[in-house]
Structure 1
Amino acid sequence: MSRTLRALRAAALAVALPCVLVAIWWFASDTSTSFYAPPLRTILSRFDDTWTADRLRDDVLPSVARLLAGYAAAGIAGVAFGVVIGSSRRARAVCEPALEFLRAVPPPVLVPVIMLFAGIGDTMKIAVIASGCVWPVLLNTAAGVRAVDQVAAETARSYGIGGAARLRHLVLPAASPQIFAGLRQALSIGVILMVISEMYASSSGLGFAVVEFQRSFAVPEMWTGILVLGLLGVVLALLFRLVERRALGWYHGSRGARRKAGDGGA
């Protein structure tokens, strides 16, 4: 099967389930008379009037900017501390109890605490996002660093490769698959925390818009906000997948080569 056909088949499979779910929602809700669960056609009919260019600029763009800022901060901190903890047994022994305690605290619980120190502006929202996204990145990075191949590590040591060169050419490439796994988990957590943080004393953002629609009993408009959040999650996941494939092309290529070699041997 050619690469083009495989790509078309993968795209068809990816689109099939969402189309089926939308069709089920459309027909199941078509005769609904519930105020709180209007038909999908009613929700979609309000979409254009609700999400105008002004609202996209005032609510969607600020939400995305806060998400990216918190996500980037969590990614940098998670990778940095994960490398340190994964590389040093002593650092791991010292930090592990505190990490387990902090990881067990749900980030939404920290929102009132962070508000006391950071106020109710963008800093608070970015801090909330970062406080939840950092843990999957940190833990996956530490696990990836600990799993570096010992033969490769000993070879680097015997050739006198250490410090930044060892980190750049051995540790980070070897741990990168697990680092990206942590970043993937953190992305979905970040979207959730973005919405939660914007529901607290905010004047803009997707979370704020959904709450405002709910408080004013604009139920179809509230549902459109939920759809926008879902679409945003899909777009971010697709963009992340593209970045991951580009960054880990060498890894997926080596896995494919090993798989072909195994099939040929069988």
Structure 2
Amino acid sequence: MKRIVWYWLLPVAVLCWELATRSAQAAYFPPPSRIVARLHELWFSGPWTRAFLTDEAVADLLPSLARLFAGWAVACVAGMAIGVALGRSRWLAALVEPLLHLGRSVPPTTLVPVFLALFKIGTPMQLAAIVYGVVWPVLINSMDGARHVDRQYIETGVVYRLGPWQRLTRIILPGASPKIFAGLRLSVSLALIMMIISELVGSTEGVGHRMLEAQSQFDIPAMWAGIVLLGLLGIVLNAAFVGFERVVLSWHRGARG
């Protein structure tokens, strides 16, 4: 019943938005029909051989996605490795954890000027910003998950004389995986946010740069088209990750149920 209500609520909301903006005739709030038309024109009116992507999409959207996935992958690998190591070592966690909490308390956007000074404008600067913004939820959740693996499982591995690598891959990582995936899911949206922020201040290409260019040219429908594109991209990425998570953690859901 709730799904049916939501399916009807979205078209009604869009219709109300359309009527309200057409009635108000506000320059900075174009109707959804104009936004969708501009979105199609800018990004998805290309030939079918290129998946309908326009030249602008190939020049801006694909590089943005490449940086997003590259930065997200680096942050996830580093966050999981460091987090699991800290979660399984009390003395190392006691030594490093205060610095971690200090680092994650610093808003990533405040360090963008630092990354600009270190790497100049370009892909390295954008990757650094994405990695720094994304790594913290993965690291903290991995550390917490590895720290709270049931001790009986660890002791069972010792009794069966499992080596360190076998204990890691067969006991610690599976036991910590629900927490790790919670951090990974948070990191997907953060990666998208940091991608746009880095492109707004330190890029000559990308979706964020194209939105900034549209703003400077007072092309308001194009600016809103970029916002809608990012929203759709966020929905697709979240849905894809949720599907992947359900497959990987199906054993956990079955055991919990």
Whether TM exceeds 0.5 here: the answer is yes
SS of equivalent residue, structure 1 residue 30 = helix
User: Does the 8 Å contact 1:153/1:170 carry over to 2?
Assistant: yes
2:51 aligns with: none
SS of equivalent residue, structure 1 residue 161 = coil
1:87-126 equivalence runs, <5 A = 87-126=88-127
Question: Deviations for 1:99-158, whole angstroms, at most 9, x for unmatched residues?
Answer: 011111111111111122222111110110010100000000011011101111111122
Paired amino acid for 1:103: R
Name whichever of 149-158 and 231-240 sits farther off.
149-158
1:66 aligns with: 67
Tell me how far 1:17 sits from its aligned partner: 5.2
Q: Are 1:42 and 2:34 matched, yes or no?
A: yes
- The structure-2 alpha-carbon separation of the partners of 1:140 and 1:37, relative to structure 1 and needing over 3 Å to count, comes to same
User: Does the 8 Å contact 2:35/2:222 carry over to 1?
Assistant: yes
User: Does the 8 Å contact 2:133/2:191 carry over to 1?
Assistant: yes
Count of residue pairs the alignment pairs up: 248
Question: Aligned partners of 1:56, 1:95: CA distance in 2, in Å?
Answer: 43
Q: Once superposed, what is the RMSD of the aligned Cα atoms?
A: 1.7
Decide which of 22, 26, 29 is 2:21's aligned counterpart: 29
1:194 aligns with: 195
Name whichever of 211-220 and 246-255 sits farther off.
246-255
Paired amino acid for 1:183: L
Normalised to the residue count of structure 2, the TM-score between the two structures is 0.91
Normalised to the residue count of structure 1, the TM-score between the two structures is 0.88
Paired amino acid for 1:142: M
Q: Return 5+ residue gaps in structure 1 as ranges.
A: 1-8, 257-266
Question: Aligned partners of 1:19, 1:57: CA distance in 2, in Å?
Answer: 30
SS of equivalent residue, structure 2 residue 201 = coil
User: Does the 8 Å contact 1:32/1:39 carry over to 2?
Assistant: no
1:49-198 equivalence runs, <5 A = 49-51=41-43, 52=45, 53-198=54-199
SS of equivalent residue, structure 1 residue 204 = coil
Question: Aligned partners of 1:227, 1:24: CA distance in 2, in Å?
Answer: 17
